[in-house]
Amino acid sequence: MRAFLRASFDIEMYRYLCAMFVTIFILFLSVSSISASEDHWDDQARIEKECAPYCLKVFLWNTVNMNQKIEACDKKNVQMAALQSQLAVSKAKETMYEKTIRDKNVQCQNEDQLYADVSSIKHKIDHMAAQTRNESKLFELLKQLEDYRVALELKNEQIRSLETKLQISEYLFENCKANFTSTPAALMIMDSKRVAHLKVYETSCLQAGNSSDIREIQVPGTEPFRVPCDGTIAGSGWMVIQRRVDRSVDFNRGWAEYGTGFGDLEGNFFIGLEKLYRMTSSRPHELYIYLENFENEIRFARYDNFSIASEEDAYQLRVLGKYSGNAGDALLLNRNMKFTTFDRDNDKRDFDNCAIERHSGWWYSQCARSNLNGRYFDRELDKWEGIWWWNWQETRTLKSVQMLIRPTINSTVTN
């Protein structure tokens, strides 16, 4: 600024001499103003110089403080995020607890219902227990009735035997009167022959009671024959008509042998269809089937009526009464079926003979759900030709089977 004023003074000294004073005055004022300005700038520079460290300190302090606040704010943000996460977890737990509470309420309601059901079941069990006690008494009464029935049958047999003996005595008495003129020796010989000819035979095993021995019986239309009685399997008075205990006897026989019977009465045997027809047609009989598997488990099937037809009708299974037992009714399909052997095909299968397929003689239809006269095996096998009872263990072979018959109550022999 000064250099500029000086240059202006040199140039204008001659031209503006008249204005020197004014110019000097102006210059003086200018210099005074510039000097004051420079003093002002010097003071400001000094103040800035003195203020700079303080301002720097303040700036640095504010910077540090600001960083600390920023860090604190970041921490607060992190804490806020953590709190928000915890809040979300808490809300999830709250939802879960609410669901658990609802489930518990439902469970409590179900438990209440369960307690009510248990109480009802307990009441029913108590009622059934009372009924069972009554049924036990009823069973005892039925057992007593069965004993009375057997005793009554024995009495009937005794009465029939006495009636026969009376008839024999009357016959002998009449013959004695007719032959009164004969010599004593001739009369003795004649009487012994008549007694031997008029020997009285039992018609069933009823009089055998609980014994299990072989007896000789006679039914109308037959000569006397021996039969095995049994009083242990199903009570007293039963007659065994078929037995399988081992493979010593082959049951794959023809028509003639099944008609007359075969085997050993003390072991494996079949009584014979003709005898069976004569017995079951002379009076009503019931049928009992005994079954035992290779685990020594025993089952049975019982029919309250049983009868077969004559040879003219191929020994048809004419009557098979009401079933009871725990083995299942495997003779259901055999009702009204004719007997079939490998040489006499009476079954309802058109393309084959069931007796040949099953190695047995039986009342086949197409074919059957039982095969008690089949081939004997020494262990349990799944064999169609074996001895089996479908309703118990299908075609798995059995260890032992027996068929038994007994006259029904109040039945009488018909000639």
Identify the weakest region by mean pLDDT among 105-109, 231-235, 320-324, 404-408.
105-109
Identify the weakest region by mean pLDDT among 86-90, 234-238, 323-327, 386-390.
86-90
Confidence of residue 34 (pLDDT cuts 50, 70, 90): low
Distance in angstroms (rounded) separating the CA atoms of residues 38 and 29:
14
- CATH number of the 202-407 domain: 3.90.215.10
Predicted local confidence at residue 361, as pLDDT? 97
Predicted local confidence at residue 60, as pLDDT? 72
Identify the weakest region by mean pLDDT among 13-27, 40-54, 378-392.
13-27
pLDDT of 221 higher than 60: yes
Task: Between 130 and 391, name the one with better pLDDT.
Answer: 391
Cβ(258)–Cβ(270) below 8 Å: yes
Task: Between 218 and 151, name the one with better pLDDT.
Answer: 218
Distance in angstroms (rounded) separating the CA atoms of residues 105 and 73:
46
Predicted local confidence at residue 263, as pLDDT? 96
Confidence of residue 5 (pLDDT cuts 50, 70, 90): very low
Predicted local confidence at residue 195, as pLDDT? 47
Predicted local confidence at residue 217, as pLDDT? 93
| Residue 197 in tokens | 């000819």
What is the arithmetic mean of pLDDT over 383-412? Answer: 91
| Residue 364 in tokens | 């086949």
Q: What is the per-residue pLDDT across 286-331, written as a single tens digit (0 to 9) for each?
A: 999 999 999 999 999 999 999 999 999 999 999 999 999 999 999 9
Measured N-to-C along each axis, helices 20-178 and 2-12 cross at an angle, to the nearest 10 degrees, of: 150
Q: What is the per-residue pLDDT across 119-160, written as a single tens digit (0 to 9) for each?
A: 778 777 777 777 767 777 777 777 777 666 666 766 666 676
Predicted local confidence at residue 311, as pLDDT? 96
Identify the weakest region by mean pLDDT among 70-84, 155-169, 229-243, 368-382.
155-169
User: Closest by alpha carbon to 383, among 350, 352, 357?
Assistant: 357
Identify the weakest region by mean pLDDT among 162-166, 215-219, 349-353.
162-166
Q: How far is CA 385 from CA 165, 170, 248, 358, in A?
A: 49, 56, 17, 4
Confidence of residue 196 (pLDDT cuts 50, 70, 90): very low
| Residue 24 in tokens | 């000097």
* pTM of this structure: 0.58
Task: Between 137 and 383, name the one with better pLDDT.
Answer: 383
314: left (phi over 0), alpha (psi -120 to 50) or beta: left
Q: What is the per-residue pLDDT across 245-293, written as a single tens digit (0 to 9) for each?
A: 999 999 999 999 999 999 999 999 999 999 999 999 999 999 999 999 9
Predicted local confidence at residue 180, as pLDDT? 55
Distance in angstroms (rounded) separating the CA atoms of residues 312 and 362:
17
Confidence of residue 90 (pLDDT cuts 50, 70, 90): confident
pLDDT of 211 higher than 60: yes
pLDDT of 77 higher than 60: yes
Q: How many residues does the chain have?
A: 415
Measured N-to-C along each axis, helices 184-197 and 20-178 cross at an angle, to the nearest 10 degrees, of: 160
Using only C-alpha atoms, the chain has a radius of gyration, in whole angstroms, of 62
User: Closest by alpha carbon to 411, among 276, 305, 324?
Assistant: 305
Predicted local confidence at residue 17, as pLDDT? 55
Predicted local confidence at residue 207, as pLDDT? 87
Tell the residue number behind the tokens 């242990």, with chain if given: 232
Contacts of 327 (CB under 8 A, 6+ apart): 289, 291, 299, 300, 301, 389, 391, 392
